[in-house]
Every structure is written in C-alpha cells, then in structure tokens.
Amino acid sequence: MPVPERIQPKRLGDYLEIMTKAVFQSGISWKVVEAKWPGIREAFQDFDSDVVAGFAEPELDDLCQDTRVIRNRRKLSAIVSNAQRMVELDEEHGGFQKYLRSHSDFSSTVQDIRKQFKFMGDTGTYFFLYVVGEEVPPHDEWFASRKSK
C-alpha cells in the first residue's frame, strides 16, 4: 500500500470518508477499494455525514444491490452506525477534531476509536488518524510496538 496522502478535514464528512475507507480496507485489498472509490463516494452521497447517518434499512438494502460499492452488508451497516456515532461525538465535543484530541495520548485515542466505531482495528485507526492529520507515532515504531504485544 502506498503512503496515503494526508488531508485537512473541512467538514465532518471528510472524517467519515477516511473512516469508511479504513472500514472497507479491513480484509480487502486496498487496490480493490481504490478502484471502487468513486462509486462508493457517489453511493454514500459524497459522505454527507447527516445523510449517511439517516440511512435506514431500505437504503442499506439498496446499497447491498449497488454494484458501485463493496456489497458487504455488515460493513455497509457499520458505516451507517459509524456516521451516527460520529455526528453524536461531533455534537458532544463541539467538533470531531476536539473529540479526537480529548484523549491523553495516541494509545487512548486508538482504544476509544476502536470502542466507539465498528470495523476500526489498530491498523485502520492508525491509517485514519494519520490521514486526517492527527499526531501519530512513526509507522516503524508503531508497527514494532504492536509486534511485541
């Protein structure tokens, strides 16, 4: 996987898009995810967080039939759930970046993201935090520290 480009999120949907990419890349080749990304972005309404958070069973049923997306119902459902939780945390903390920075260190941030969001493991969370411009340890150090666990 090439080194992902970092972004400066300007809206909640930017966070949702990167988290969704992490969810889809869990157990699936990043090349497959990248190839389908334009269709995924379109199907998820350009990651408008409020719209995605409002998806219900009929929209999930439609997504499961949509060839533009990776049709894994558990992941599609997780993305909707993650959007709902992201909107809640954004409101609770007065901004999603404030939520991310409300933890004492990188490890506690990772631990809380894994608890709050579905399909977000250590690697996906590292990817997510790195891409959205949060402080992360150097990848080599982080990877080595995980091997010792």
Q: What does the pLDDT look like over 74-103, one tens digit per residue?
A: 999 999 999 999 999 999 999 999 999 999
Taking CA 67 as the corner, what is the angle to CA 62 and CA 68, rounded to the nearest 5 degrees?
Answer: 95
| Domain annotation covers residue 2 | no
pTM of the model: 0.94
Indicate the number of domains in the chain: 1
Taking residues 30-51, what's their average pLDDT?
Answer: 96
| Domain annotation covers residue 7 | no
Exposure on the CB side of residue 104, measured as CA atoms within 13 A: 1
Amino acid at the residue 97:
Q
| Domain annotation covers residue 1 | no
Question: What CATH number has the domain bearing residue 58?
Answer: 1.10.340.30
Rounded to whole angstroms, how far apart are CA atoms 133 and 111?
A: 18
Place of tokens 């993305």: 79
| Domain annotation covers residue 119 | yes
Rounded to whole angstroms, how far apart are CA atoms 107 and 38?
A: 32
Higher pLDDT, 148 or 146: 146
Place of tokens 């579905």: 118
Where in the sequence is the domain holding 36, given as residue range(s)? 12-147
